[in-house]
């Protein structure tokens, strides 16, 4: 990852804000892909130097046109390449020779076009590296820096008015991204940057976003993703956005991706990549928008500067039904719609004596047309209530009263420091524009306003979490030297126990007498289990017997397990029989670690038994994380109430489970070079805390550095 290289960062900054732009293969036909950037650069008033290159012209639109790159008077900060694919590599070489360090490649015919294209793209990447040119693309629409009027693009989006604004929008899709940008424009949301990454032969999404989000004029980062290859870079981006105090809104398609990855462990099978992405988003405060509409709604709410201090939503509405609908949605998306304090209620009652209900939602009816103070005073009273962190005002049409209402909303804005949103259904265009001018976010539907308010609240929570800061991993356990593959239970268990994971005591018996001796040493009932590197799921083949507590039973059990193994899995190598202390616990958890190809070591926790199999009630985090984050994991389980005691069972201690998860995450992070998959299943939790009853650990080959230690 070249992400943190300061030189590279400087060149990216130069790419998005060049003092001069060369257009290689420029056309005088401004309707063409290779003419459009020139048109926009000229017409929209780019202040730098524009350098067309094409042997066919002496000049284009009054600009001197150069026959080739070598003839340019000096190296351009940025080159736009609009040539056939076959000519691109040579062009990059020439640019490098001339001293140009950054290029945007519109040309298609690379990775998107089968194996030959992929090979050409690899050649391009290698050429660029050797020539010391960084690349945006190929097969991309290019980018717009609307602050400096840099139009290095042929996107349709550039055809309209592209007023600069506080949003940086980076998209992996050209077509969808252009549509989203156009919708943002229709809503009056200014895009300071519009960047299409294309095939990402060199610069990828995270690097580009990082470059533009650092611009102090940018207040909101929004991205559209179709796939991620560098998870670390995305996490780093999220952390930087958090440090900058700028929300990072991402839409990623592929929610249902059914993870065709082969995985030996349950954890691997459950950790399909979208669920992992979703967990990482929660963990690092990324605001995930499920589709383009939600992304635009989030842009809208974050373009105003106020943030929510908590999740209390106040609703003022002109329609009782709309109020109920919004309150319902609020509950679904994690907001509360709190009762108002007695002081607030008294204030509301004095403002609206005729209306009995001074609750939340507040029904202000349509009377405020005659008495504007009704609306402003009631909304301000509501926002003044300490339980309220953000408010939504719902109204509809009011075609004849736009000016009066805009005045009211300006008053409300000036009378409070808390954020409030307007949902104006079937709003006149003047109303939407007017609210935009006042810096008040406006939505077209109640549920969408609620979702945007929830994003504000979520952002506040994540910001507070960041202020606390994650615990650093303090573990540096010795790297195991065992060969790769499934690890023997006793050894695996010892590794985990050393890391502070509460493992049930277990030992391996090579014969009946040894088993009897271990039972005697244990002093109480034991479990007998088949041990074999070839049998991962012991219970599936009858490979365990529980609660054995006499010499005769131990001997009988030993023989039974050996014969079952021979019968059911004749080719399995048998290591012996495990003798394990019995564990108590009325809650069954599944805990595991898997290695995600994008995000690395991922820890999973879920409720065991049938719940994990059918409901897949599991959740994930990227390792390492602390106990606070682990507690959040537990709160995400749909059946999490089981932990607090149901059907007469006592509650278990969530903190002890969180402790286990955090320790495991730190160990897994340290073990990343060797740990492939880990299942702790089941983990029984009872009065005395969690106890890991079975574990399957799979290591891979030691990396060269590790083995040379």
Q: Is 332 in the site for a second copy (CB under 8 A)?
A: yes
Stretch that binds a second copy, among 209-217, 235-243, 500-508, 638-646 (CB under 8 A): 638-646
Closest approach, Cβ 276 to a second copy, in A, equals: 16
Instruction: Count other Cβ atoms within 10 Å, centred on residue 512.
Output: 17
**Which string of b and e fits 85-107 if b means at least 16 CB within 10 Å?**
beebbebbbbbbebebbbbbbbb
Contacts with a second copy in 434-493 (CB under 8 A)?
445-448
Q: Is 146 in the site for a second copy (CB under 8 A)?
A: no
Q: Which is nearer to a second copy, 363 or 581 (CB)?
A: 363
Residue 149: CB partners within 8 Å, gap ≥ 6? 41, 44, 45, 46, 47
Q: Is 318 in the site for a second copy (CB under 8 A)?
A: yes
Q: Is 254 in the site for a second copy (CB under 8 A)?
A: yes
Closest approach, Cβ 77 to a second copy, in A, equals: 30
Q: Is 357 in the site for a second copy (CB under 8 A)?
A: no
The helix/strand/coil state of 566 is: helix
Contact assessment for residue 254 and residue 227, using Cβ atoms and an 8 Å cutoff: yes
Q: Is 411 in the site for a second copy (CB under 8 A)?
A: no
Q: Which is nearer to a second copy, 463 or 638 (CB)?
A: 638
Closest approach, Cβ 271 to a second copy, in A, equals: 18
- Among 47, 62, 353, 356, interactor with a second copy by CB under 8 A: 356
Q: Is 639 in the site for a second copy (CB under 8 A)?
A: yes
Q: Is 119 in the site for a second copy (CB under 8 A)?
A: no
- Among 399, 430, 481, 635, interactor with a second copy by CB under 8 A: 399
Residue 469: CB partners within 8 Å, gap ≥ 6? none
Under DSSP, the state recorded for 611 is I
Written as six digits, the tokens of 154 are 């042929």
- Among 90, 116, 403, 540, interactor with a second copy by CB under 8 A: 540
Under DSSP, the state recorded for 540 is G
Instruction: Count other Cβ atoms within 10 Å, centred on residue 641.
Output: 10
Q: Is 647 in the site for a second copy (CB under 8 A)?
A: yes
Q: Which is nearer to a second copy, 15 or 335 (CB)?
A: 335
Closest approach, Cβ 546 to a second copy, in A, equals: 15
Phi then psi dihedrals of residue 436, to 5 deg = -55, -45
Interface pattern 15-44 for a second copy (x via CB under 8 A): ------------------------------
Task: Identify the burial level of 619 via C-beta atoms within 10 angstroms of its C-beta, where 0-12 means exposed, 13-18 middle and 19 or more buried.
Answer: buried
Closest approach, Cβ 379 to a second copy, in A, equals: 17
Cα separation of 195 and 137, whole Å? 10
Reference 197, options 167, 229, 238; nearest CA is 229
Direct distance between the N- and C-terminal alpha carbons of the chain, in angstroms, rounded to an integer: 25
Q: Is 673 in the site for a second copy (CB under 8 A)?
A: no
Q: Is 176 in the site for a second copy (CB under 8 A)?
A: yes
Cα separation of 674 and 670, whole Å? 9
Contacts with a second copy in 586-615 (CB under 8 A)?
609-610, 613-615
Closest approach, Cβ 361 to a second copy, in A, equals: 11
Cα separation of 553 and 556, whole Å? 5
Rounded to whole angstroms, what are the CA distances from 382 to 292, 355, 395, 409, 606? 32, 15, 17, 14, 40
What stretch of H or E contains 621?
strand 618-622
Q: Is 353 in the site for a second copy (CB under 8 A)?
A: no
Q: Is 256 in the site for a second copy (CB under 8 A)?
A: yes
Q: Is 114 in the site for a second copy (CB under 8 A)?
A: yes
Stretch that binds a second copy, among 62-70, 175-183, 480-488, 694-702 (CB under 8 A): 175-183
- Among 89, 638, 656, 686, interactor with a second copy by CB under 8 A: 638
Strand partners, 23: 52, 80
Closest approach, Cβ 274 to a second copy, in A, equals: 9
**Cα-Cα-Cα-Cα dihedral of 472, 476, 481, 487, to 10°?**
-50
Q: Is 115 in the site for a second copy (CB under 8 A)?
A: no
Residue 193: CB partners within 8 Å, gap ≥ 6? 16, 143, 144, 145, 146, 167, 168, 169, 170, 212, 215, 218
Q: Which is nearer to a second copy, 402 or 518 (CB)?
A: 402
Stretch that binds a second copy, among 48-56, 517-525, 544-552, 641-649 (CB under 8 A): 641-649
Stretch that binds a second copy, among 300-308, 322-330, 403-411, 571-579 (CB under 8 A): 322-330
Stretch that binds a second copy, among 54-62, 167-175, 300-308, 412-420 (CB under 8 A): 167-175
Cα separation of 635 and 618, whole Å? 11
- Among 152, 241, 322, 442, interactor with a second copy by CB under 8 A: 322
Q: Is 546 in the site for a second copy (CB under 8 A)?
A: no
Residue 91: CB partners within 8 Å, gap ≥ 6? 24, 69, 79, 81, 83
Contacts with a second copy in 193-222 (CB under 8 A)?
none
Q: Which is nearer to a second copy, 106 or 519 (CB)?
A: 106
Closest approach, Cβ 155 to a second copy, in A, equals: 10
Stretch that binds a second copy, among 46-54, 155-163, 379-387, 672-680 (CB under 8 A): 155-163
Q: Which is nearer to a second copy, 123 or 292 (CB)?
A: 292
Q: Is 228 in the site for a second copy (CB under 8 A)?
A: no
Q: Which is nearer to a second copy, 177 or 600 (CB)?
A: 177
Written as six digits, the tokens of 71 are 């003839």
Closest approach, Cβ 610 to a second copy, in A, equals: 6
Contact assessment for residue 390 and residue 453, using Cβ atoms and an 8 Å cutoff: yes
Reference 545, options 531, 534, 560, 533; nearest CA is 560
Rounded to whole angstroms, what are the CA distances from 388 to 312, 336, 418? 5, 9, 9
- Among 45, 245, 320, 439, interactor with a second copy by CB under 8 A: 320
Residue 277: CB partners within 8 Å, gap ≥ 6? 228, 252, 598, 599
**Count residues contacting a second copy (CB under 8 A)?**
61
Q: Give the neighbor-by-neighbor strand order of the sheet with 526-531.
A: 506-509, 576-581, 526-531, 544-548
Report the phi/psi class of residue 327: left, alpha or beta, with left for phi > 0 and alpha for psi in -120 to 50.
alpha
- Among 63, 182, 244, 404, interactor with a second copy by CB under 8 A: 182
Closest approach, Cβ 452 to a second copy, in A, equals: 14
Contacts with a second copy in 292-311 (CB under 8 A)?
292-293
Stretch that binds a second copy, among 79-87, 214-222, 391-399, 508-516 (CB under 8 A): 391-399
Written as six digits, the tokens of 303 are 């373009």
Q: Is 232 in the site for a second copy (CB under 8 A)?
A: no
Q: Which residues bind a second copy (CB under 8 A)?
A: 114, 156-157, 159, 172-176, 178-180, 182-183, 186, 224, 226, 253-256, 290-293, 318-322, 324-325, 327-328, 331-332, 356, 365-366, 396-397, 399, 425-426, 445-448, 540, 609-610, 613-615, 638-639, 641-642, 646-648
């Amino acid at each position: 990852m070249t992400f943190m290289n300061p030189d590279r960062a400087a060149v990216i900054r130069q790419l998005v804000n060049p003092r001069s732009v060369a257009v290689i293969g420029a056309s005088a036909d401004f309707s063409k892909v290779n003419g459009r950037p020139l048109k926009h650069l000229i017409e929209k008033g780019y202040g730098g130097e524009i350098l067309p290159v094409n042997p066919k012209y002496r000049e284009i639109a009054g600009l001197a046109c150069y026959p080739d790159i070598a003839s340019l008077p000096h190296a351009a900060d940025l080159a736009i390449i609009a040539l056939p694919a076959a000519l691109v590599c040579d062009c990059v070489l020439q640019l490098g020779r001339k001293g140009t360090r950054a290029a945007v490649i519109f040309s298609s015919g690379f990775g998107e076009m089968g194996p030959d294209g992929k090979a050409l793209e690899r050649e391009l990447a290698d050429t660029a590296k050797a020539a010391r040119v960084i690349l945006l693309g190929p097969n991309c629409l290019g980018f717009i820096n609307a602050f400096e009027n840099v139009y290095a693009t042929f996107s349709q989006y550039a055809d309209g008015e592209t007023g600069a604004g506080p949003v940086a929008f980076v998209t992996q899709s050209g077509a969808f991204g252009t549509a989203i940008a156009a919708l943002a424009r229709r809503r009056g949301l200014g895009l300071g940057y519009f960047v299409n990454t294309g095939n990402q032969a060199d610069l990828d999404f995270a690097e580009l976003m990082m470059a533009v989000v650092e611009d102090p004029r940018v207040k909101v980062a929004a991205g559209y993703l179709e796939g991620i290859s560098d998870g670390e870079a995305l996490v780093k981006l999220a952390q930087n956005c958090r440090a900058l105090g700028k929300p990072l809104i991402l839409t990623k398609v592929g929610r249902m991706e059914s993870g065709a990855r082969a995985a030996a462990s349950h954890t691997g099978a459950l950790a399909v990549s979208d669920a992992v992405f979703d967990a990482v988003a929660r963990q690092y405060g990324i605001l995930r928008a499920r589709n383009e509409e939600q992304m635009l709604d989030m842009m809208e709410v974050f373009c105003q500067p106020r943030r929510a201090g908590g999740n209390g939503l106040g609703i003022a509405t002109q329609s009782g039904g709309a109020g109920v609908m919004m309150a319902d949605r609020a509950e679904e998306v994690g907001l509360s719609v709190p009762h108002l304090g007695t002081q607030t209620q008294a204030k509301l009652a004095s403002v609206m004596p005729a209306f009995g209900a001074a609750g939340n939602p507040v029904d202000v009816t349509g009377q405020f047309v005659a008495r504007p103070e009704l609306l402003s005073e009631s909304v301000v009273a509501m926002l003044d209530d300490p339980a309220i962190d953000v408010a939504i005002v719902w109204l509809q049409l009011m075609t004849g009263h736009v000016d009066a209402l805009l005045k009211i909303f300006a008053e409300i804005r000036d009378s409070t420091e808390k954020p409030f949103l307007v949902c104006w259904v079937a709003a006149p265009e003047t109303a939407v524009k007017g609210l935009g001018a006042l810096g008040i976010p406006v939505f077209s539907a109640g549920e969408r306003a609620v979702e945007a308010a929830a994003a504000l609240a979520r952002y506040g929570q994540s910001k507070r979490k960041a202020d606390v800061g994650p615990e650093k991993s303090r573990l540096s356990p010795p790297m195991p030297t065992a060969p790769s593959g499934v690890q023997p239970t006793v050894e695996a268990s010892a590794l985990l126990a050393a890391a502070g994971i509460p493992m049930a005591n277990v030992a391996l018996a090579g014969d009946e007498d040894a088993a009897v001796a271990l039972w005697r040493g244990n002093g109480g009932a034991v479990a007998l289990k088949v041990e074999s590197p070839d049998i991962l799921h012991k219970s599936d083949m009858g490979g365990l017997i529980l609660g054995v507590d006499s010499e005769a039973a131990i001997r009988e059990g030993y023989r039974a397990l050996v014969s079952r193994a021979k019968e059911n899995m004749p080719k399995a190598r048998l290591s012996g029989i495990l003798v394990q202390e019995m564990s108590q616990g009325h809650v069954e958890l599944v805990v595991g670690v898997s290695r995600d190809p994008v995000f690395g070591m991922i820890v999973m926790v879920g409720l065991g038994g049938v719940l994990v199999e059918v409901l897949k009630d599991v959740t994930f985090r990227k390792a390492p994380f602390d106990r606070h984050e682990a507690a959040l994991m537990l709160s995400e389980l749909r059946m999490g109430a089981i932990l607090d005691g149901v059907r007469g069972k006592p509650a278990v201690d969530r903190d002890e489970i969180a402790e286990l998860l955090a320790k495991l995450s730190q160990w897994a992070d340290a073990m990343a070079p060797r740990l492939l998959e880990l299942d702790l299943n089941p983990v029984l939790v009872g009065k005395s805390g969690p106890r890991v009853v079975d574990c399957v650990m799979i290591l891979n080959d030691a990396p060269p550095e590790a083995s040379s230690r």
